[in-house]
Structure 1
Amino acid sequence: MSLFQYYVASTIDGFIASPDDDLAWLLQFDQVDGVNESIGSFMAGVGCVAMGGDTYRWLIEHEPDNWPYPETPCWVFTHHEYRAPAGSDITFVRGDVREFAPDLLKAAGEKNVWLVGGGDLVAQFADAGLLHEIIVTIIPVVLGAGKRLLPLKGPTAPLELVSSRILGGAAAELHYRMPQAVTAS
């Protein structure tokens, strides 16, 4: 069964980006032992990517000539008009995540759907009962303010810890299963 997974890095105080979307705090940890291996292992199980418009805009602005998912179908949930980079497989959509969940799973095939950064979009999947797993790498940095890891309206039931590991003595990767996630039909 394909899953909706939120694979993300967060500061100790629960932010995935600074208030102005700066990721310098995170990029300084790119070379930590185990980080690239963890990303590679995760990506091997990804058949489709879903992201919000802010994340898409950030990628286009910061990597204008390097679309990071050339072989993977990507769905962008946005209210803005964007153009897809040459050679990419991007579908721009507007609407409730429940409406598109079956299409995302179909695009993923036998693999999973990665809900890429942008806690707001992931919160919509969680609120709809469609978020199955959170894999968060806790980075030893405190920002004090920024974009929240998962801006839900209320608390969840306790999550099930599936696994944990230390990456390079600097970061902790925690893999959680969400309670009561549903399967999109």
Structure 2
Amino acid sequence: MGGTIYYVAASQDGFIARGRGPGEWLRAFAGAGEFADGSGEAAHVAEFLAAAGAVAMGAETYRSFVTDPGSWPFGSIPVWVFTHHEFPGISGADITFVRGDVAEFHPDILHDAGQRDVVLTGGGNLAGQFLDSGLVDEMVVTVLPVSQGSGLRLTHVVEGIDPAGAREPSMGSAVLQRRYDLRR
């Protein structure tokens, strides 16, 4: 059975979002070239999606896809959106809108994922709820070579996680990826 993994990108000064915005700053890195292992960004995204059996995200992350439905990368992977808002669906996507405690829905998300991973994506609010509930097995932080100066800090989300336990596979000359094993 797969695990529950939080994937997040952070600026080198430790921010994961500007203000309340989802991740517009990340678009500057789309197609940024090859990583140290010789593969391109597309190969890493394909690997990430191949491991995903289900995805969980919050309202702000989903909102970014609603405004640009052509950017929907999840195909028919089941996606769970935690929100208090009403949103339209995306044609061809398998989306379940829920509100409530993440622990209540986690067994159903795991069921949807089957033998693959549940992937948490997007900002820190939802990830913080999963982390606080002890439901995250691994956290993958990709640190990009940009400073934001303000916004939502990664440390706000991951307080209490020991950075000494991180593995840091190289992804390129300026991109660092930290992997934290949080299995209890």
Q: 2:176 aligns with which of 172, 175, 180?
A: 172
Within 5 Å, give how 1:30-45 maps onto structure 2: 30=30, 31-34=32-35, 35-45=41-51
Aligned equivalents of 1:94, 1:24: Cα separation in 2: 25
Q: Which amino acid aligns with 1:101?
A: H
Distance change in 2, residues 1:155/1:80 (3 Å): same
Structure with a larger share of its residues in helix = 2
1:116 to 92, 114, 121: 121
Report which of the two has the higher share of strand. 1
Match of 1:100 among 95, 105, 114: 105
**TM-score when scaled to structure 1?**
0.87
* Unaligned segments of structure 1, at least 5 residues: 181-185
Give the equivalent residue in structure 2 for 1:144: 149
Aligned length: 178
Shift of 1:68: 2.1
Indicate the percent of aligned positions where both proteins have the same amino acid: 42
Cα distance in 2 between the residues matched to 1:142 and 1:101: 34
Retained in 2: the 8 A contact 1:97–1:125? yes
Residues 23 and 76 of structure 1: CA distance in aligned 2, closer, same or farther (over 3 Å): closer
TM-score relative to the length of structure 2: 0.87
Deviation at 1:125, TM superposition (A): 0.3
> Quick one: distance in 1 between partners of 2:138 and 2:130?
11
The 3 A distance-change label for structure 1 pair 49 and 86 is same
Residue 53 of structure 1 aligns with an amino acid whose one-letter code is A
Distance in 2 (CA, whole Å) between partners of 1:38 and 1:68 is 13
